[in-house]
A and B are shown apart, each in its own frame.
Chain A
Amino acid sequence: MRIQRLGLAHFVRLTHHPPGQGSCGDASSGYSGTGWVLEVSCPNGNNSTNYFKSTDIASSSATEGCEDCESGPSGGVGVNTLGIINSLDNLCARLVFKKLKTGLFDDDPIKPEIQVPGSNIDLNLSQLILQIFNESKFINYSISNNSEFDVDSNGNYANARTQGAATTLNNEYLKTATELSIARTMIHELVHAYLNLRVSNTMIFEDGFGFIAKMEEFAKANGISDLNSNKFHHEFMGGYVKAMAYSLYEWDKLYGTGGNLGWDYYYKMATAGLSYKNEEGEYVFADSFFELFPKNSDRDDALKIHQNEKAGNKDAKGTKCD
């Protein structure tokens, strides 16, 4: 059965969600606060609107009766202000991530698609995800690197892994990859962390239950039982490829090659890593990858680009990081 996609993201628009909206009696949450709305336009017309708060719920009893609504989003809890922890000891990778985070609160004329009306905040997808963690009072996103899974000198390893909200980059990967590849991996891993957060901490999102329902509907349509599985993440992530590509383009424009690689290149880069282990125990490319590139030649081209940038070879367009 081919994937029944809920809709590939065409563009991402962020709008401000003023305080007081999303009322206390809202079935989706018992929260009233300031937040953002992420609108995703889909080719099939099934546009979706995802709400998230710019601060987390901190009430222990915000429930169907909304007893504690008045306490608002920051009602008297221990505040952990770490937010995002950059523990990368590889200087180049550390800077790549820092730059990915830079501009979090900047207005930038090159980002018209995601202009936030009526606010000074302008975000792309990776920045949006980073902002969620940045503003969270009790969930940190951390990124580091180690050699724990340097198992192969031929490049057969995972570039990175994300468990919960902790990403670890592989030292072997950092030795060869280009900055562009590393930025791409960081964006990909951030989406994993975001999906993990969506599944585990549903209640901190204004539309938490609605989004979970969409995830479950997608999983059911594709015969997936576990929302935490590689298969689910990488099939669902197919819908984020354009937004991921846009994030990568922005990073490259400001801090990489100047953003002149062409949209196709960023788009193909953003499809890296869409694979999973099938029931026979073999790793295969996700259906989302085939859907994004129905033509063999496009898939082969994308895979070559992924490998070139990972290996930092002469065909890579990014600058080698190490």
Chain B
Amino acid sequence: MKKLEIKMPKERNVINLVILIVLSINCSAQNVLEGTYARQNMPYDTYSFYKFQQDGGFEYHSGGDLGDESFGKGTYRISADTLFLDYNENTAVQLPYHKGYFWKDFTDSITIEIQVKDFEGNPIGYTNVASTENRIGIVLDSEGFGRLRLRRIEDDYDITVSFIGYESHDIKIFGTKNYRLEVFLSDCCLGSPIYEYMDTLKILEFTESHMRLKNRNGVVSEWVKNSKD
């Protein structure tokens, strides 16, 4: 009798172990995504896709013919019927910036001496420096240097520094002061990064080659795995 009592739990343990193994195999198959899933039924010339990696990483891109409008990277996990996308990889884009000096004199004009470079310190020749509102501006020289002379006013000038292929940079200039500025422009068109954000998508359907997801706003979308992956 005692032997039987001891044996029963052992058999249960074995059965439980088998169930656990089977379950874990199933779960891992459903919890791991790999490959590129592109959203379907997009308007012509636009895209949205996720690239999932086996190690739990993912990246997201969405945009049109001007490049990515949004993008992000991070880690994903699947729990029950929900896909959690944790945008935890820093993809924040560095903004263009300027540094420099200002001083005051008492003449009826002010001068803005300006040098424009990229983030690697290379001059950006022929950059546009303009106050659109006042319809005044210059094109810098081949070394990205120039002087803009403006009428002295008791107000501000909004100056935009721009060149095709770079993010433009706006600078507020006091109309009574002279400036010597160094401006650094970043590459353009990188899109808006998604960072420090957790997205949750309900999985309505999932197969080896296809996903149907519902976002927080209730929008349902179809995603198909790239057959080349």
Of the residues A154, A159, A272, contact of B40 by C-beta under 8 Å:
A154
Residues of B contacting A106 in the complex (Cβ-Cβ under 8 angstroms): none
Indicate if the CB atoms of B44 and A307 lie closer than 8 Å.
yes
Indicate if the CB atoms of B47 and A149 lie closer than 8 Å.
yes
Of the residues B137, B142, B151, contact of A202 by C-beta under 8 Å:
B137
Given contacts A28-B135, A163-B165, A203-B128, contact A153 B65 (CB under 8 A): no
Indicate if the CB atoms of A162 and B162 lie closer than 8 Å.
no
Given contacts A63-B148, A64-B149, A201-B128, contact A156 B136 (CB under 8 A): no
Residues of B contacting A216 in the complex (Cβ-Cβ under 8 angstroms): 132
Residues of A contacting B226 in the complex (Cβ-Cβ under 8 angstroms): 150-153
Indicate if the CB atoms of B66 and A161 lie closer than 8 Å.
yes
Indicate if the CB atoms of A161 and B65 lie closer than 8 Å.
yes
Indicate if the CB atoms of B65 and A56 lie closer than 8 Å.
no
Question: Is B217 located at the chain interface by the 8 A CB criterion?
Answer: yes
Indicate if the CB atoms of A62 and B65 lie closer than 8 Å.
no
How far, in Å, is A247 (CB) from chain B's closest CB? Answer: 17
How far, in Å, is A2 (CB) from chain B's closest CB? Answer: 19
- Which residues of B (56-73) have their CB < 8 Å from a CB of A? 61-67, 69-70
Residues of B contacting A203 in the complex (Cβ-Cβ under 8 angstroms): 128, 130, 137-139
Indicate if the CB atoms of B219 and A166 lie closer than 8 Å.
no
Residues of B contacting A296 in the complex (Cβ-Cβ under 8 angstroms): none
- Which residues of A (261-300) have their CB < 8 Å from a CB of B? 272-273, 275-277, 280-285
- Which residues of B (158-205) have their CB < 8 Å from a CB of A? 162-166, 168, 188-189
- Which residues of A (67-116) have their CB < 8 Å from a CB of B? 77-78
Determine the residue in chain B with the shortest Cβ distance to A78: B142
Question: Is B147 located at the chain interface by the 8 A CB criterion?
Answer: yes
Indicate if the CB atoms of A200 and B128 lie closer than 8 Å.
yes
Residues of A contacting B70 in the complex (Cβ-Cβ under 8 angstroms): 277, 281
The segment out of A4-12, A43-51, A121-129, A189-197 that lies at the interface is: A189-197
Indicate if the CB atoms of A153 and B188 lie closer than 8 Å.
no
Determine the residue in chain A with the shortest Cβ distance to B126: A138
Residues of A contacting B36 in the complex (Cβ-Cβ under 8 angstroms): 151-152
Question: Is A13 located at the chain interface by the 8 A CB criterion?
Answer: no
Question: Is A219 located at the chain interface by the 8 A CB criterion?
Answer: no
Taken together as a complex, chains A and B put the C-alpha atoms of A203 and B123 apart, in Å, by 19
Indicate if the CB atoms of A164 and B64 lie closer than 8 Å.
no
How far, in Å, is A282 (CB) from chain B's closest CB? Answer: 7
Question: Interface size bucket, A side?
Answer: 35 or more
A152-193 interface code vs B (CB 8 A; 1 in, 0 out): 111011111111111000000000000000000000110011
Indicate if the CB atoms of A200 and B217 lie closer than 8 Å.
no
How far, in Å, is A166 (CB) from chain B's closest CB? Answer: 7
Question: Is A319 located at the chain interface by the 8 A CB criterion?
Answer: no
Indicate if the CB atoms of B165 and A166 lie closer than 8 Å.
yes
Question: Is B96 located at the chain interface by the 8 A CB criterion?
Answer: no
Taken together as a complex, chains A and B put the C-alpha atoms of A189 and B45 apart, in Å, by 11
Determine the residue in chain B with the shortest Cβ distance to A28: B135
Determine the residue in chain A with the shortest Cβ distance to B162: A200
Indicate if the CB atoms of B67 and A163 lie closer than 8 Å.
yes
Given contacts A149-B47, A152-B38, contact A201 B162 (CB under 8 A): yes
Taken together as a complex, chains A and B put the C-alpha atoms of A160 and B126 apart, in Å, by 28
Given contacts A60-B138, A138-B125, A201-B164, contact A157 B66 (CB under 8 A): no
Residues of A contacting B151 in the complex (Cβ-Cβ under 8 angstroms): 64
A residues with CB within 8 A of B: 27-28, 56-65, 77-78, 138-139, 149-154, 156-166, 188-189, 192-193, 196-197, 199-204, 208-209, 212-213, 216, 228-230, 233, 272-273, 275-277, 280-285, 303, 306-307, 310
Q: List 14 A-B contacts (CB under 8 A).
A: A59-B138, A64-B149, A64-B151, A151-B47, A151-B61, A152-B49, A154-B224, A159-B45, A161-B66, A162-B65, A192-B66, A200-B163, A277-B63, A280-B219
Q: Which 5 pairs between the two chains have the least Cβ-Cβ distance?
A: A164-B165, A152-B38, A275-B43, A60-B141, A273-B45
List 4 other contacts, CB 8 Å, given A78-B125, A280-B217.
A77-B141, A152-B36, A161-B67, A283-B42
